[in-house]
Structure 1
Amino acid sequence: MVNTCCVVKCYRRGKSIANGLRFFNFPAWKQHTGTQISELTKRRRMAWVAAVRRKDITFSNIPRHMRVCSRHFHKGKPAYEMLECDPDWVPSLHLGHTEVKPTDSGKFNRRLKRQQALKRNNAEPATLDLAGQRSEIVKAEPPDEDSQMAEAGPKDITVELQECSFCSCRRAEINRLLEENRKLKEELSQKKMEEDFLKDDDVKVTYYTGLSSFAVLMGVLTQLLPSLPQTSRKLSPFQMLFLTLMRLRLNLPIQHIAYLFSVDRKTVSTTFRNTIGTLFTHLKPLVHWPERHCLQATMPRQFVEAFGSRVAVIVDCFEISIGRASNLKASAETFSHDTNKHTLKYLIGITPRGAISFVSQGWRGPVSDEHVTENSSLLNKLLPGDLVLADHGFDIRDRVGGLMYAEVRESGHSRLNAKDVEETRQIAHLRVHVKRLSGCVRTKYIILNETVPVSMVLPCQGEDMIFLDKIVSVCCALTNMCPSIVMKLQTMT
């Protein structure tokens, strides 16, 4: 590119560094780098405009092709922007007019030598006379503040800056910028939904993830870390887990989560599906059927007073609404006439202590509680003498065979069909426990309370289950990691 000098009556043309000639742009006004730098660069830009003195060049309007050649500087190039006292801080030679007189570089060099001599004198230790009095030091001329700067570039002025009065201001400005940078990084880390967003705030952790504390959240991450798939470098392992738990807990739309984590929708969808798979593999052992002696040893007082130690499980079914499938046959299979919606039904079993001990796979559409109970593996886990509790309306007495079955009604009565057990009102207060336990998972993880997309009910590749089955199982396992509702009620009473 051929450059042309914009100085009046200077017709130098050519390419950069051609024939020893160089061309330089007008200095920029650095408005956002601190007050002192802003004022200094503003003065310099104004000084260049005044030196060139052209009507078509103003402070706010300098065309990019307007440049100044090296002929107008003593050393053939502009001085470092911090050296305001340097003669080459602004072009001063051969300007084509007399309004700006050429600067005297010799005066600047003489001033610099005097300042250096003064520093050497100040560095010499003071001598003491025989009387112990301090000898008088010959006073030197007070240094000019501008003469603290050397005429060369930044490497040559390092030593000079250490002693100048202007350096203290520079250090203060640098410290201010460093502190501002630290705060901005801290704010950015929070907006990036990283660990700092939740650290030291267990209330926020519970709101976004359903877990009880940040320590529990990090414990889950540590467990998952070796097998968590790295499908994208855009998200850290913590963000992958956090994103997934937020979706389960708050059922936020995919696009909203994409905005929060500054990624695209596809990344969010892929990350959610892969992380759910990893969570299912690692956390499904948390939903297990306890041994009878463990069950009896941890039986809450309210159940012992009402039934002794016979209660094995509290059962209930809940339905999850799903989107309507485009395929008519698939749509008909999931339509429930009771709710007038497309649903999947799940059977859940909870111990008296409040831990989820069983969860079935999803059953499509108009299927009864009896059918789900009979065709799931729950009955295979019961032993003779076990007592099964269910809320009013959940009628499975014909399916439990010789096992005891108690139906907890609003009136407070219970009916046992395997043995003659007299009706009692002592279990009326247990209905509160049954209702709260059966609804604890859906209360904690809102995704189970709202309509899920049809894509979640598609079979998982190579597995005899659908993706929603994994989601329900993961939500149950995460619920078991939190304090039990029964234990909270016992503490309150």
Structure 2
Amino acid sequence: MTEGRRVWLSVISRDNLLCLENVYVCSNHFERGKPAYAMKTFDVDWAPCINLGHDKVNVSTLQAASDRAIRTEQRRQRMEEAATSSSVASSSVGAQVSEEDTGCVFVNEGTQTDQGVLCHSKTVQTTPPQTCNVGVQTDDWNFFDEKVFLSNDSKVHYYTGLTKCALLLSTFEFVMKPFCNGEIRAFYWHSFLIVLLKLRLNLGLQDLAYRLNWLIKWPQREQLWKTMPNCFCACYGTKVVAIVDCYETKIETPSHLVAKSATWLQYKHANTAKVFISMCPKGVTTFVSCAWGGRVSDKHLTVNSGFLSKLLLGDIVLADHGFDIDEDVARMQAALQIPAFTRG
């Protein structure tokens, strides 16, 4: 029984109400002729209060509680309006531009609505405008771009601990020279930068994932052809687009029983999470699925991850012998190949 129904039955105080299916309370038992909203528990009309046939309910006490609730709601609304007004005022002050610098006068007109204050700006041209430099907030991908990142020594020192841009660049060239070339230099640059950010600022893995999630993207076929290793060309030509596998990692035991059952893996004797990962022949990660419970099969995870929709006609996917997805890949007019050394 809900709290509201319990209170209603208490104030009605009828012992002969055995069946409540067709019982109604008329408007004569409410101060304003109808019950109040169910969430307004301090309202005088939250439950029947007058003409009840007994004096168990003190209407004056209920009215006092209702008045206190109304005053509390009014104070809350005034505080919200004051906070909104202060935020609008501070944003207007921050957006002001002096007439001497730009030759423009900004006139703000405020219009009061039910949703708040809407500010409209009108620009009155007084003198010909002059060109000025304004800072533009860049996206994460532009911020971590090699040329943009190496444009400021203080930024390099804060994020990496190295004092100069030239020192960071020379360190990158020394460490990554055996691996990278002009075509995939950006990938190794971002990988190198992730390591430095983790060592310098101890950023959480989730934070790094949000910052750099744009690094995982599906490549164009021309990029795959240009970077295809010779060993793949000798065996499969230039048709291999992905090498797939599922990765499992141990997690804390969930408190929810369903989640605990879905993540329990018997042969590992632990609760695990499983993700589907795809990489191109060059070794760059190109697709990562959402995490699933460790008990899910590789086939089910692959089919429901969205990976198959990225395949084109004639593509070849390499997988371990445990992946029984040849029919699903064939529906996308692609082919699944299992290398001989993975067949056991």
TM-score w.r.t. the length of structure 1 is: 0.30
Greater per-residue strand proportion: 2
TM-score w.r.t. the length of structure 2 is: 0.42
Structure having the higher Rg = 1
